[in-house]
Amino acid sequence: MNRGVRCALLLAALSAAAPVAGDPRPAPPTRPNIVVLLVDDWGFSDVGAFGSEIRTPHIDALAARGVRFTNFHVAGSCSPTRAMLQTGVRNHRAGLGNMPETIPAEHVGKPGYDTVLNDRVVTLAQVLRDQGYHTYFTGKWHLGKTPAKLPHARGYDRAFALADAGADNFEQKPIIGLNDKADWSENGRPAALPADYYSSTFIVDKAIAYIDSGARGRPFFASINFLANHIPVQAPDADLARYRDHYRAGWDATRRARRARAIALGIVPDGSAMVRMGTTTAWPASPEAATAMSAYAAMADAADREIGRLVAHLRAIGAYNNTIFVFLSDNGPEPTNPRNRLLNRLYLGAHYDFTPARAGQRGTLTAIGPSWASAAAAPLRGYKFTADEGGLRVPLVLAWPGNPAIAAGHIASAYTDVTDVAPTLLALAGLAPPRARYRGRAVEPMTGASLVPLLERKAAQVHPDDQPIGYELSGNAALFKGRYKLVKNLPPTGDGNWRLYDIVADPGETRDLTARDPARARAMRADYAVFARRDGVLPMPPGYTADEQINANAFATVALPQLKRAAAITALSLLLVIGWLVWRRARAERR
C-alpha cells in the first residue's frame, strides 16, 4: 500500500451495459470522456509518484485520485508501443514488428514488418467514434506518413499529428540527419506550426481547442501525445533555470536516491536489489556533465505543467469528474548518443549548438546518454531498445475522479501490459472490444485483458500465472509468465543468452534463476518459440544492433539523397562552367 497517499476505498460499482462493438447507435451522454496522456522516453521513476525528484505535481495528483500500476510493460521503442496502445493487439500482428528507423533491409516488406499500422487492426478511436464519441489526436503519431495511414484515417475526427519519430520542440524542423522535414499534418493535410510554438504547450492547446469544438452531450476521446522527452531534449528557459544545479552529485547518486524513494512509496518491494549498469562510467568531476539531465528534468516538468493546464480546463467546463485519465510512457529512457561517431559529430555540429551551458535551449540537440538513462530507469536494469525491465517497464496511472469504484491511491503490482489499455477503456465505457470481425470485415482481435478488476480491487491479477505473453523487438526478446520473465538481449547491451528472473521479488533483474530452476527456463523457452512462430518473429541479421541500423537507415534515406542532390548540382555546375569556357575559347579563336 502506498505510504505517502492513503485514500479510503469506496464501495460503489460500475453499471454499464456492453453492446456489441460496431453498433453505430449514438452513445448516451453518461459515458465517460477519455484522455490518454502519452509521454515519450520517460523512465520508470521519472514521475514524483514513482520516486522521482522531478516536479510532476499534476501527474502525482492524478495518481492520488487513481491507481498506479508498477508492473506495467510496453515495447522497447515507440512505434510498437503506440500500435499496441491504439489497438490492443500485439505489435507484430499490428504491423510494427520493427520501426522504419531500426528495421534491417532483410525484413522490409515481410509479414508483420509493415513499419506502419496495418489495415488488419481496429483502433480504439474507431470503436469509440462508431459508438458516438468525438475523437481527437494531437502530437506524435509515428504509425505511418501517407494520408491513409495518418490518425484522421484511423478513427480520429480531428488530428494534428507528427508522423516522425521526433522533431524540434521550438520550430518546425526535423531532427537533422534523421528526417528531411518535420512532417506535421492536420486532418491528413500538411500543416504549419505557429511562431510561438513549444511542443508540449501546442499539443495541449490543440487538444483543448478540439475538445471545446465538439458538440456538448456527446463524450470525447482525446489522445494527447507529447514529444517530451524524446531527443532533442529542450525546454523553456524558466524550466531550465529551475534545474540548473540539481544533478551535480551524478547519475549513481540519483539512481540510489530514486531507488530509496521508490521503496518508501511502495513502488518496489523493500530491499529491492539494483545493479550498476555496465555501460556507464564513473561520475566525472565536471559539473557540465549534469546539464543534459537538468534539461531532461525541465522538459518533463514543462509537460507536467501542460497536463495540469488541461486538467484545470476540464474542471472549468465541468468535464473533469466524468473523465478517465490514462498516463504512461511509450518506453524506457533513451540511451542513444547522437554524436557517437565522428561523421555524426561533424554533420550535427554544423546544425546544432552543443555547448554544455546551453543544453536544452532553442537550437540545441541535447541527449542524456546511457549513464543518465540508467538513473531515469532506476531501480531497474536497462533502458530503451533493450528487453530489460528498464526498457519495458514504465509508469502507468489510471484515474476516473468521479467514479467511487476506482480505488484512489491504490498501487497495483500485478503484471500488466500495454495491450490491456484499450480493452480496459472500452470496458469502462460499457463497450465490448472487437473480436475476429468488426463491421463486416475480418480483423485481429484485441488480446489484452481488462484492468477493471484491479482498478476496483476485486482481483489481485488479470493475467493468470500460466498465461505466457511473448515480446520481441530488434532481436531483444522476453516471455512473461506469472511472476517470471525469460529475457535475452543482443549485443551491445547483452550477449544473446536467455536469463530467468522473478520480476516481482527482483524487479531490478539482479538474480538469474536459470541454473536454479532449469525446468521453468526450458518450459518458458518453449512458450517463447510458440509465440515467435505464431506472430511471425524473424531472426535478426548477424551483427545487427538498433543503434547502427538507425545510422545506416538515416544515411540511406536522408544523407545519401542529399549527397546525391549535391553531387548532381555540382556536376551540373561543372558542366556549365566547362561549356562556358569552351564557348569563350571558340569565340576567341573565331576572332
Q: What is the pLDDT of residues 330-341, one digit of tens each?
A: 999 999 988 888
For the ranges 81-90, 184-193, 274-283, 581-590, which has the lowest average pLDDT?
581-590
Please tell me the distance from the alpha carbon of residue 425 to that of residue 325, in angstroms, as a whole number: 10
| Higher-scoring residue by pLDDT: 166, 342 | 166
Read off φ and ψ for residue 502, nearest 5 degrees: -95, 100
78 is catalytic: yes
Residue 553's pLDDT is what?
Answer: 86
- State the Cα–Cα distance between residues 392 and 387, nearest whole angstrom: 6
pLDDT for 305-319, tens place per residue? 999 999 999 999 999
Asked if residue 24 has pLDDT above 70, the reply is: no
Of 29 and 43, more confident: 43
pTM: 0.91
* 3-state secondary structure string across 344-377: HHHHHHCCCECCHHHCCCCCECCCCHHHHHHHHC
Q: What is the model's pLDDT at position 11? A: 23
Question: Highest-confidence range of 281-290, 336-345, 363-372, 546-555, by mean pLDDT?
Answer: 363-372
β pairing state of 184-186 and 72-73: unpaired
* Cell numbers that stand for 336 in this block: 542513444
Distances (CA, A) of 370 to 121, 280, 292, 358, 503: 35, 6, 12, 20, 22
Which position has the higher pLDDT, 559 or 229? 229
Domain locations in the chain as residue ranges:
33-460, 470-535, 546-591
Residues 6+ apart with CB under 8 A from 589: none
pLDDT tier for residue 555 given thresholds of 50, 70 and 90: confident
| Cα–Cα distance for residue pair 31/19, rounded to 1 Å | 13
- Residues 352-375 have a mean pLDDT of 96
pLDDT category, 452, cuts 50, 70, 90?
very high
Of 121-135, 282-296, 522-536, 571-585, minimum mean pLDDT range: 571-585
183 in Cβ contact with 159 (< 8 Å): no
Domain 470-535 has CATH 3.40.640.10: no
Residue-wise pLDDT for 274-292, tens only, equals 999 877 778 876 777 899 9
CA angle 233, 238, 239 (to 5 degrees): 45
Which residues partner with 328 through β-bridges?
Answer: 38, 396
User: CA 424 to CA 201: how far, in whole Å?
Assistant: 28
Residue given cell 499534476 in the structure block: 58
Q: Map grid coordinates 453505430 to a residue.
A: 24
Per-residue confidence band for 77, with pLDDT thresholds at 50, 70 and 90: very high
Residue 520, pLDDT score: 98
Are residues 427 and 450 in contact, defined by beta-carbon separation less than 8 angstroms? yes
H helices then E strands: how many in the chain?
16, 18
Fold of the CATH domain 33-460 = Alkaline Phosphatase, subunit A (3.40.720)
- Confidence (pLDDT) at 563: 54
Angle 558-561-563 (CA atoms, 0-180°, nearest 5)?
A: 105
Cα dihedral 248/250/255/257 (nearest 10): -40
Torsion of CA 38, 43, 49, 55, to 10 degrees: -90
pLDDT, averaged across the chain: 92
pLDDT digits (tens, 9 = 90+) for 239-280: 999 999 999 999 999 999 999 999 999 999 999 999 998 777
Q: Which of 49, 51, 510 is nearest to 260 (CA)?
A: 51
Q: Vertex 407, ends 450 and 471: CA angle to 5°? A: 35
pLDDT in tens, 197-219: 999 999 999 999 999 999 888 99
Place of cell 549527397: 563
pLDDT in tens, 463-472: 999 999 999 9
CA distance 224 to 137: 6
Contact 300, 58 (CB under 8 A): no
pLDDT for 561: 66
The answer on pLDDT for 424 being more than 90 is: yes
> Angle CA(287)–CA(338)–CA(166) in degrees, nearest 5?
110
Helix (H, G, I), strand (E, B) or coil at 65: helix
Most distant CA pair in the chain: distance in Å?
105
Residues 6+ apart with CB under 8 A from 525: 479, 486, 498
* 484/465 Cα distance (integer angstroms): 9
pLDDT tens per residue, range 137-161: 999 999 999 999 999 999 999 999 9
Minimal CA–CA distance to 330: which of 42, 87, 100?
Answer: 42
Confidence of residue 559 (pLDDT cuts 50, 70, 90): low
Mean pLDDT, to the nearest integer, of 523-543?
97
Supply angle C-alpha 389, 390, 393, rounded to 5.
Answer: 60
In this predicted structure, what is the pLDDT of residue 470? 98
Name 223's Cβ contacts closer than 8 Å, sequence gap at least 6. 36, 38, 86, 125, 135, 136, 137, 138, 151, 156
Q: Of residues 142, 152, 410, 463, which has the active-site annotation?
A: 142
Q: How far apart are CA 112 and CA 195, in angstroms?
A: 40
Q: What is the dihedral of CA 298, 394, 166, 277, to 10 degrees?
A: 80
Q: Residues 154-200: pLDDT tens digits?
A: 999 999 999 999 999 999 999 998 899 999 999 999 999 999 999 99
Identify the active-site residue in 73, 78, 107, 463: 78
Q: What is the pLDDT of residues 374-396, one digit of tens each?
A: 999 999 999 999 999 999 999 99
Give the other-Cβ count within 10 Å of 27's Cβ: 19
Q: What is the dihedral of CA 413, 417, 418, 422, to 10 degrees?
A: -90
What is the length of the chain? Answer: 591
**pLDDT score recorded for residue 567:** 64
